A and B are shown apart, each in its own frame.
Chain A
Amino acid sequence: MNVLVKDPIAWTDVGAVTDIPLRGARRVPTPDGDIAIFRTGDGKVFALKDACPHKGGPLSQGIVHGHAVACPLHNWSIDLASGEPMGADRGKGCTPVIPLEVRDGRLLLGRS
């Protein structure tokens, strides 16, 4: 029988959920560039590569509203769950989503 085994994800504890301000974001540097972790007004958290699909703007520096962030460079709105630009810029590229889990109030970033 063929069983598909997915690579297990390695999780790294990068801090507490409450270390990120509500409607804010923090950066986590990695050798492949920064990861941005966002916390929305309703307390949900999301992780994306910290680079806008437009011209690489650091999304962690944008204004978080609803479940989106406005890129600080040219104001594209990026959907936090999918990494996709919204509105008029829909379909113009996509920022990679990074695996993120919350356990007991801690943030775990995944590498697969």
Chain B
Amino acid sequence: MPKEKLVVIGNGMAGCRAVQEVLKRDPDRYEITIFGAEPRVNYDRIMLSPVLAGEKAFEDIVLNDEAWYRDNGIALHAGHAVTQIDREAKVVRTASGLAEPYDRLLLAMGSDPVRLPLPGADLTGVVTFRDLDDVEAMVAAAAKPGAKAVVIGGGLLGIEAAYGLVRRGMGATVIHLMDVLMERQLDASAGFLLVEAMAQRGVDTVLGAQSEEIVGEGGKVVGLRLKDGRVLPCDILVMAVGIRPNVALARDSGLEIGRGVIVDDAMRTSDPAILAVGECAEHRGQCYGLVAPIWEMCKALGQTLTQGEGAYEGSVLSTRLKVSGVDVFSAGKFGGGTECEDIVFRDAGRGVYKRVVLENGKVAGAVLFGDAVDGPWYFDLMKSGAEVADIRETLIFGQTVTEGLRGLDPSAAVAAMADEAEVCGCNGVCKGEITGAITGQGLSTLDSVRAVTKASASCGSCTPLVEKLLKLTLGDGFQVQTGPKPVCGCTPKGHDEVRRRIVAEGLKSIPAAMQGLEWTTPDGCASCRPALNYYLLCAWPGEYRDDKQSRFINERAHANIQKDGTYSVVPRMWGGMTSAAELRAIADVVEKFDVPAVKVTGGQRIDLLGVKKDDLPAVWADLNAAGMVSGHAYAKGLRTVKTCVGSDWCRFGTQDSTGLGVRLEKFMWGSWAPAKVKLAVSGCPRNCAEATCKDIGVICVDSGYEIHVGGAAGLHIQGTEILTKVASEDEAVWTICAITQLYRENGWYLERIYKWMARVGLESIKAQVEDPEARKALYDRFSYSQRFSRIDPWAERVAGRHAEEFTPLSRRMEFAPS
């Protein structure tokens, strides 16, 4: 009996693996013919990245050489693309004139790389990254000295392409539309670390960048223009923006197509004589772009083609990046979700970030950066749906630690740990060193153990273990102590430590701070993000880019939100002074925008209440036109400087209190602080400006200026204390700016001056501002920071900054029937 004829279209990863699965089960059943568009034998496509990087040669990545085809009696038509499937006659044909009849046909045509339809996309030098020809084109371009590459697409492929090109001596920049590299596999924290790791390897990254046009000269690519106008020069442009299943052939022959060729669990298409596997197949609505699911598909297919019914049920995916020295693993719901719990571990010293996501007591996903050895273990736990409640405490430390402690009760487990067992991964401290220090040096507190051994002094995640060791060694002699109040639930660290280390370690962004300070959540919370944003802003004036998403709505919208979702607008009235022109402009705005309420505030200025958010920029434009700027009535920063009429008019006035108030407000406006800062200047001790219940107050007297600090009259009524007395107005200004700066640099977020003063003591503040040199240094830092702060946020928004904040995303549903 003649053998059945099996014809395979596609000599790639899936096609050849499928043939192997068939041969394994029934080597004599079929006469096999393979068509491959590429003029070469079957190779390992995923290893093209190391080939590009020069770490491997083509010979190293061949999966099946000519001998394999020969020994298995397989006819290979390499370099012949099939152009037609005649389902009625059961024949496939190629453009080169070959025709091959089949009993069973297997489609394994893979995918085509997506080419963005940008102007200039057809220029020479615009390439994709899919096969050996692409690699050879890139290697050839890299041979030119000083050549540069731009890679569009910050996914796995784009990053591997850029890395490979840099290894070949090119400069490479990755352009990514999203704000996180590999966002489909990584969360923001891991994406941030990847940007840094790539930068260390010479690959630049531009995030949130939209490509507009590929610029050419003489038919050759010379650069890429972005939407924002920037042009990135390049000699080669790699598009790595995704893949599209290769289905044209199947569509033309009338097979059922979705995104890919639709197959059932047995890998059959809508024509039972035709099967499909690999990236060109769509199974249960899913197309895959990785090899692991392809291997599983091929098993089911081997079964179907030999022993009956195969059953593929879909795959769970995991990803690894192939960039030397950058260990990345991701699987499942790595980004967390409802009902999910995160366990996060960071080790700033080693650049490690691990996040394991639990759902209903089971592992639902993981993302690992910097140390991915436990990736397969988490992946197994996830796929098997194992209950992990009893290993939860040690899960994040990986398989070795967890299995070492399994089944032991916690204190017995600690007692049973070998002296050489590592307790603190960050600082490499083992159990013996800790117990030795406790007994040898008579330590009895966590802090002293930290100080002597460094155990639990970094990320703090081994703190419970260290405490157990203390308890075990000391018995009842140990009492759990409380350290400084943590910033929030995302970190055990206190505000002081966070502030100090941001400066000392040069941490200049929120992701950098969260990694450097080993935050235990992936992206912080509504408490710590505004705090970190302020600390960074204060530490790096002019350099730090404010993160508007980490600001409370009032500071993001530069107006105060009201109970009904409208806003109030308070323009500055310097020192409480105003004019007919200002009042007229305010009146005009009130009428023009139908502002429902106008009120004189307790801060000597006028509040326009009930403005609709969409109207804010227009309201501000009119106020700006009359010379008024934001009163920052919403700010953790300088609010008002109240004044009284003083020597200009008052029969008791000793100094120009109004003038000093205006001068202070004009110099200090726009400054951000841990909490609000209110000032007042009274012209005499009768104190009509209520200066003695302000954060900083001035009482003018005949011989000069008394400077008071630490008042409040809100939730807590607190009179000021007198700090110092100075003789001149200049000195008063210097001193007040110096105190403000000291507070800006040392206060905890949301801690008002009076609370800060109670914590650090009036004397310590006095010492700093009475010492002329210290005072000058503080004043200089304040002035420097003010160079970047005295910018009217309203005018910036009138000019279009963050326009999206003030406009709805779309008005297309406004009149839609519900």
Listed in ascending order, the chain A residues whose CB lies under 8 Å from chain B are 12-15, 18-24, 26-32, 34-35, 37, 40-44, 55-58, 61-67, 70, 72-73, 75, 77, 79-82, 107, 109, 111
Q: Is the CB of B549 within 8 A of A57?
A: no
Residue from A26, A66, A67 within 8 A of B804 (CB atoms):
A26
Q: Is the CB of A20 within 8 A of B809?
A: yes
Q: Is the CB of A14 within 8 A of B523?
A: no
Interface mask (B806-818 → A, CB under 8 Å = 1, otherwise 0): 0011111111111
Can you name the residue of chain A whose Cβ is closest to the Cβ of B521?
A66
What would 17 A/B residue contacts be, using CB atoms closer than 8 Å? A13-B810, A14-B813, A18-B208, A22-B549, A30-B816, A40-B335, A41-B188, A42-B522, A44-B337, A58-B561, A58-B565, A61-B556, A63-B529, A63-B550, A64-B549, A70-B526, A72-B561
Complex interface: chain A residues within 8 A of B553 (CB):
61-63, 72
CA distance A26 to B815 in the complex (A): 18
Residue from A19, A61, A75 within 8 A of B526 (CB atoms):
A75
Can you name the residue of chain B whose Cβ is closest to the Cβ of A42?
B335
Can you name the residue of chain B whose Cβ is closest to the Cβ of A32?
B818
Residue from A30, A42, A79 within 8 A of B187 (CB atoms):
A42
CA distance A13 to B561 in the complex (A): 29
CA distance A64 to B548 in the complex (A): 11
Question: Could you tell me how many residues of chain B have their Cβ less than 8 Å away from some Cβ of chain A?
Answer: 46
- Interface assignment of B295: CB less than 8 Å from any CB of chain A: no
- Minimum Cβ distance to chain B for residue A79 (Å): 6
- Minimum Cβ distance to chain A for residue B547 (Å): 8
CA distance A14 to B808 in the complex (A): 10
- Minimum Cβ distance to chain B for residue A9 (Å): 13
Complex interface: chain A residues within 8 A of B338 (CB):
67, 79-82
- Minimum Cβ distance to chain A for residue B158 (Å): 16
Q: Is the CB of A19 within 8 A of B187?
A: no
CA distance A73 to B808 in the complex (A): 20
CA distance A22 to B178 in the complex (A): 9
Complex interface: chain B residues within 8 A of A31 (CB):
814-818
Residue from B337, B526, B530 within 8 A of A67 (CB atoms):
B337
Which residues, 764 to 818 on B, are CB-close (under 8 Å) to A?
Answer: 804, 808-818
Complex interface: chain A residues within 8 A of B522 (CB):
41-42, 66
Complex interface: chain B residues within 8 A of A70 (CB):
526
CA distance A111 to B812 in the complex (A): 13
- Minimum Cβ distance to chain B for residue A93 (Å): 17
Q: Is the CB of A42 within 8 A of B188?
A: yes
Can you name the residue of chain B whose Cβ is closest to the Cβ of A26?
B809
Interface mask (B566-607 → A, CB under 8 Å = 1, otherwise 0): 000000000000000000000000000000000000000000
Residue from A30, A42, A61, A62 within 8 A of B813 (CB atoms):
A30
Q: Is the CB of B552 within 8 A of A18?
A: no
- Minimum Cβ distance to chain A for residue B724 (Å): 39
- Minimum Cβ distance to chain A for residue B496 (Å): 23
Q: Is the CB of B804 within 8 A of A19?
A: yes
Residue from B183, B524, B810, B816 within 8 A of A42 (CB atoms):
B183
Complex interface: chain B residues within 8 A of A81 (CB):
337-338
- Minimum Cβ distance to chain A for residue B452 (Å): 37
Residue from B188, B342, B804, B808 within 8 A of A28 (CB atoms):
B808
- Interface assignment of B28: CB less than 8 Å from any CB of chain A: no
CA distance A37 to B551 in the complex (A): 18
- Minimum Cβ distance to chain B for residue A59 (Å): 10
> Looking at chain B's contact residues, is the secondary structure mostly helix, strand, loop, or mixed?
loop
Q: A21-B804, A22-B180 are in contact. Are A14 and B809 (CB under 8 A)?
A: yes
Interface mask (B151-187 → A, CB under 8 Å = 1, otherwise 0): 0000000000000000000000000011110010001
- Minimum Cβ distance to chain B for residue A62 (Å): 7
- Minimum Cβ distance to chain A for residue B6 (Å): 37
Which residues, 300 to 357 on B, are CB-close (under 8 Å) to A?
Answer: 334-338, 340, 342
Q: Is the CB of B179 within 8 A of A22?
A: yes
Q: Is the CB of B525 within 8 A of A42?
A: no
Complex interface: chain A residues within 8 A of B3 (CB):
none
CA distance A26 to B808 in the complex (A): 6
Q: Is the CB of A55 within 8 A of B187?
A: no
- Interface assignment of B108: CB less than 8 Å from any CB of chain A: no
Q: Which 4 A-B pairs have the closest CB atoms?
A: A42-B335, A81-B338, A26-B809, A70-B526
Complex interface: chain B residues within 8 A of A44 (CB):
335, 337
Q: A35-B813, A81-B338 are in contact. Are A27 and B188 (CB under 8 A)?
A: no
Can you name the residue of chain B whose Cβ is closest to the Cβ of A13?
B812
- Interface assignment of B449: CB less than 8 Å from any CB of chain A: no
Q: Is the CB of A28 within 8 A of B810?
A: yes
Q: A43-B183, A70-B526 are in contact. Are A12 and B178 (CB under 8 A)?
A: no
- Interface assignment of B563: CB less than 8 Å from any CB of chain A: yes
Complex interface: chain B residues within 8 A of A55 (CB):
563
CA distance A47 to B178 in the complex (A): 20
CA distance A34 to B614 in the complex (A): 13
Q: Is the CB of A65 within 8 A of B526?
A: yes
- Minimum Cβ distance to chain B for residue A41 (Å): 4
Can you name the residue of chain A whose Cβ is closest to the Cβ of B340?
A67
Complex interface: chain B residues within 8 A of A109 (CB):
813
- Minimum Cβ distance to chain B for residue A36 (Å): 9
Can you name the residue of chain B whose Cβ is closest to the Cβ of A31?
B818
Can you name the residue of chain B whose Cβ is closest to the Cβ of A22?
B179
CA distance A80 to B148 in the complex (A): 43
- Minimum Cβ distance to chain A for residue B636 (Å): 14
Most central of B548, B557, B816 by chain A CB within 10 Å: B816
Can you name the residue of chain B whose Cβ is closest to the Cβ of A64?
B549
CA distance A92 to B127 in the complex (A): 56
Complex interface: chain B residues within 8 A of A24 (CB):
549
Q: Is the CB of A73 within 8 A of B561?
A: yes
- Minimum Cβ distance to chain B for residue A81 (Å): 4
Q: Is the CB of B812 within 8 A of A12?
A: yes
CA distance A56 to B562 in the complex (A): 11
Residue from B178, B187, B809, B816 within 8 A of A15 (CB atoms):
B809
Which residues, 70 to 117 on B, are CB-close (under 8 Å) to A?
Answer: none
With A61-B557, A63-B529, A77-B526 known, 11 other A-B pairs at CB within 8 A are A14-B809, A18-B177, A30-B814, A31-B815, A35-B813, A42-B187, A43-B178, A44-B337, A61-B561, A63-B550, A66-B523
- Minimum Cβ distance to chain B for residue A14 (Å): 4
- Minimum Cβ distance to chain B for residue A101 (Å): 14
Q: Is the CB of A14 within 8 A of B812?
A: yes
Q: Is the CB of B565 within 8 A of A29?
A: no
- Minimum Cβ distance to chain A for residue B245 (Å): 15
Q: Is the CB of B526 within 8 A of A63?
A: yes
- Minimum Cβ distance to chain B for residue A90 (Å): 12
Residue from A37, A57, A62, A77 within 8 A of B809 (CB atoms):
A37
Interface mask (B531-556 → A, CB under 8 Å = 1, otherwise 0): 00000000000000000111111001
Can you name the residue of chain A whose Cβ is closest to the Cβ of B179?
A22
Interface mask (B464-507 → A, CB under 8 Å = 1, otherwise 0): 00000000000000000000000000000000000000000000
Complex interface: chain B residues within 8 A of A28 (CB):
808-810, 812-813
Complex interface: chain A residues within 8 A of B551 (CB):
63
Complex interface: chain A residues within 8 A of B550 (CB):
23, 63
Most central of A27, A28, A43, A79 by chain B CB within 10 Å: A43
CA distance A76 to B126 in the complex (A): 51
- Minimum Cβ distance to chain A for residue B189 (Å): 8
CA distance A35 to B208 in the complex (A): 25
Complex interface: chain B residues within 8 A of A30 (CB):
813-814, 816, 818
- Minimum Cβ distance to chain B for residue A11 (Å): 11
Can you name the residue of chain B whose Cβ is closest to the Cβ of A77?
B526
Most central of B521, B548, B813 by chain A CB within 10 Å: B813
Q: A12-B816, A13-B812 are in contact. Are A41 and B521 (CB under 8 A)?
A: no
Complex interface: chain B residues within 8 A of A42 (CB):
180, 183, 187-188, 334-336, 522-523
